[in-house]
């Protein structure tokens, strides 16, 4: 029994050494690339160096589906992201929930938690227009995958776009040079404007946060110096979605409102206080950090108010005549 175990261990060690050699050897990586269609010879040298670096730094292996190569670029897959996150020893858990679901659209939210107490949230969407025929009947699954991928990429930065976040038809590349050109199909838009699905995602998250149109305009103005969703480009829309997701949790906002009420601060005074302390007209636009800062400010106000009240009571007692 001991001999069998020893032999198995030796085989595992040998295989591991062979794989180490394979994915660190540029010549062997190029040989692997030649077996794939659509990867021009001019792009293979650069790609081979990228793949070697990804294996050396993160342990990612194309043969295990951690990486998919298209044109002149490698894309990490969901399997690759989860492998890297687990290998780091810091992944504590992944949670997903449906934000919106219709017959032709699904928006999911993913939360990645790390062992150091970190919490990273992201959204993923899928519709009939950004998935291929094989995937379009499974919108929930694709939206979930995209949300998880984005959350994992924030929690465990790796510098690669994930394959599942791109629609298959959106990945174009020059067959001669291997250069990738990513284009959106919505309305044949080539000017970089936000896609319909990005705009829909922003509206959905804003509705869930109960932001009015005026508050959303303020948020856009503060974040990207624009006031209309139609003015956003793709990058700005992505930033807006990310930052909307960072707004303070409901329980902190409730605590703020209760504290304001306890201090006797009315609606007109609230807005002035929000602007003075944080620079925003409503607590709904506070990030979690800003909300905590404002809450600390209110607690100091409360302490000062209680101190003055106690001092006033003491003075009244001193004035009592017997």
Looking at residue 289, its pLDDT comes to 87
Most confident by average pLDDT, 44-58, 85-99, 200-214, 250-264: 85-99
What crossing angle do the helices spanning 41-58 and 26-34 adopt, rounded to 10°? 120
Tell me the C-alpha distance between 129 and 185, whole Å. Answer: 8
Q: Over 50: is that where the pLDDT of 185 sits?
A: no
**Which of 120, 127, 169, 128 minimizes the C-alpha distance to 148?**
120
Tell me the C-alpha distance between 49 and 25, whole Å. Answer: 9
Q: Over 70: is that where the pLDDT of 134 sits?
A: no
Q: Over 60: is that where the pLDDT of 174 sits?
A: no
pLDDT in tens, 64-105: 899 988 877 889 999 999 999 999 999 999 999 998 888 888
Tell me the C-alpha distance between 322 and 224, whole Å. Answer: 68
Q: Provide the pLDDT confidence category of residue 294 given band limits of 50, 70 and 90.
A: very high
Report the 3 state secondary structure along 86-121.
Answer: HHHCCEEEEEEEEEEECCCEEEEEEEEEECCCCEEE
Looking at residue 192, its pLDDT comes to 62
Looking at residue 288, its pLDDT comes to 84
* Rounded percentage of the chain residues whose pLDDT exceeds 90: 23
Q: Over 90: is that where the pLDDT of 111 sits?
A: yes
Q: Over 80: is that where the pLDDT of 38 sits?
A: no
Looking at residue 169, its pLDDT comes to 43
Q: Over 50: is that where the pLDDT of 186 sits?
A: no
pLDDT in tens, 148-161: 999 999 899 888 88
pLDDT in tens, 225-253: 998 898 888 778 878 887 887 788 888 88
């Amino acid at each position: 029994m001991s001999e069998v175990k020893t032999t198995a261990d030796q085989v595992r060690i040998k295989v591991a050494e062979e794989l180490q050699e394979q994915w660190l050897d540029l010549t062997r990586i190029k040989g692997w690339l030649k077996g794939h269609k659509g990867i021009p010879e001019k792009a293979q040298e650069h790609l081979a160096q990228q793949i070697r670096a990804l294996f050396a730094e993160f342990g990612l292996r194309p043969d295990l589906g951690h990486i998919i190569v298209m044109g002149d670029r490698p894309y990490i897959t969901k399997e690759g992201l989860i492998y890297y996150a687990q290998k780091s020893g810091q992944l504590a858990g992944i949670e997903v929930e449906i934000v919106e679901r219709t017959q032709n659209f699904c928006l999911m939210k993913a939360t990645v938690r790390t062992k150091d107490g970190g919490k990273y949230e992201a959204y993923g969407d899928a519709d009939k227009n950004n998935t291929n025929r094989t995937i379009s009947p499974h919108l929930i699954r694709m939206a979930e995958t995209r949300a998880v991928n984005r959350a994992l990429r924030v929690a465990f930065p790796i510098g690669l776009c994930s394959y599942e976040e791109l629609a298959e038809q959106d990945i174009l590349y020059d067959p001669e040079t291997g250069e990738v050109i990513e284009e959106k199909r919505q309305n044949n838009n080539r000017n970089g404007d936000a896609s319909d699905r990005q705009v829909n995602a922003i509206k959905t998250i804003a509705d869930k946060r109960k932001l009015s149109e005026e508050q959303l305009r303020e948020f856009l103005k503060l974040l990207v110096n624009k006031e209309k969703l139609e003015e956003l480009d793709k990058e700005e829309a992505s930033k807006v979605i990310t930052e909307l997701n960072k707004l303070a949790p409901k329980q902190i906002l409730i605590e703020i409102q209760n504290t304001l009420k306890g201090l006797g601060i009315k609606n007109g005074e609230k807005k002035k206080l929000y602007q003075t302390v944080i620079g925003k007209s409503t607590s709904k636009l506070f990030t979690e950090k800003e909300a905590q800062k404002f809450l600390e400010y209110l607690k100091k106000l409360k302490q000062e108010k209680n101190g003055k009240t106690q001092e006033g009571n003491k003075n009244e007692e001193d004035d009592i005549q017997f």
